Amino acid sequence: MSSDKTDKQYCKCSEANCYCDKAQYNEVKDWEREQLISHLDKCPKCKDYSERNKKLTELFNKAQLTTLQEEERKELKRLLQQNLDK
Amino acid sequence: MAENTHQINPDQWVDEYSDYLFNYAIVRVNDREIAKDLISETFLAGLRSKKYFKGEATERTWLISILKRKIIDHYRKINSKKGQAEVKINYTEEDQEGEWLEEKVADNFEQSAEDNLVNNELGAAIYDCLDKINPKHAQIFKMKTIDNFDTEVICNEFGITPSNLWVIIHRARTALAECMEEKWLK
């Protein structure tokens, strides 16, 4: 079927977006990157998503967010609980 | 008369606000241990004064106002120690008069204070948006994006497949981009 051939050469938008997301975490495989690039050449909507996604990653990097570790969180909970019980 | 709808619920403070408060503090004090201590002190102060919570602001805003005071107290302590050190330096070498360490530090502080302000505003915007999305998606997103956990570790923790994880990450990123669009992505 011709559609099978098309699918192999040109991935779906949902797949392209997934590859784009993986690329933000450097977890995209080479063949996925190739499909993504090929898809973005022809799909303006996904190209927009990709550009916005990259900006989002830049913002997260800029914000330098950090979270408490699970043990630190438990310690805080213990402290609160001890003082709640007083 | 305005209705005071915000409730206080200390049992949920760590899960709901600790990361937000921690980022707020760490940007200002630039030290993980001090930031953690400030959060502990903030929660304890919150517990002690919870009877004064009127519900006019959100719990988070109220806790931030306590944290701000704790940060100011922290800097007051540092400055009083630094002040004592300066006097000693100033009086040991007469020819060094005017070469104030404090002035040099202040210049650097001005620079970083501006960066910190932007980073803090950005951090607050990200946390505000994370609060609005599916809590499980937010948690997975934080583990992947902020804590840099491996995909496999997160999948094991939540009992999901890598495909599920990427769908969740995609939904979270799309929701966050929409939420941050107006102010940060244009």
Model confidence pLDDT, tens digit, residues A20-51: 999 999 999 999 999 999 999 999 999 999 99
Residues in chain B within 8 Å Cβ distance of A22: 166
Query: Letter for the amino acid at A32?
Result: E
Q: Whole-prediction pTM value?
A: 0.73
**Better-scored residue on pLDDT, A30 or B107:** A30
pLDDT at B82 (0 to 100): 62
Is any Cβ of chain B less than 8 angstroms from the Cβ of A70? Answer: no
Indicate the length of chain A as a whole number.
Answer: 86
Domain extents in chain A = 2-84
- Which range, of A44-48, B19-23, B71-75, B79-83, averages the lowest pLDDT? B79-83
Selection from B23, B20, B71, B26 nearest residue B45 by Cα: B71
Test B151 with A27 for CB contact under 8 angstroms: yes
Residue A33 touches chain B, beta carbons under 8 Å: no
Q: Which residues of chain A make contact with B11, given a CB cutoff of 8 A?
A: 80, 84
Q: How far is B19 from chain A (nearest CA, A)?
A: 5
Q: What percent of chain B has pLDDT over 70?
A: 78
The pair phi, psi for residue A54, each rounded to 5°, is: -65, -40
Beta strand spans in A9-73 (E): none
Distance CA B83, CA B6 (A): 42
Residue B83: the pLDDT is 57
Cβ–Cβ of B22/A66 closer than 8 Å? yes
Residues B34, B85 contacting (CB under 8 angstroms): no
Nearest to residue A46, comparing CAs of A27, A25, A18, A22?
A: A18
Contact of A26 with chain B, judged by CB distance below 8 Å, is answered with: no
Q: Which single residue is written with the structure tokens 């993986």? A: A22
Q: What are phi and psi of A46, to 5 degrees?
A: -70, -30
In chain A the first and final C-alpha atoms are separated, in Å, by: 73
CB contact, 8 Å: A52 with chain B?
Answer: yes
Question: Inter-chain contact A63–B126, Cβ cutoff 8 Å?
Answer: yes
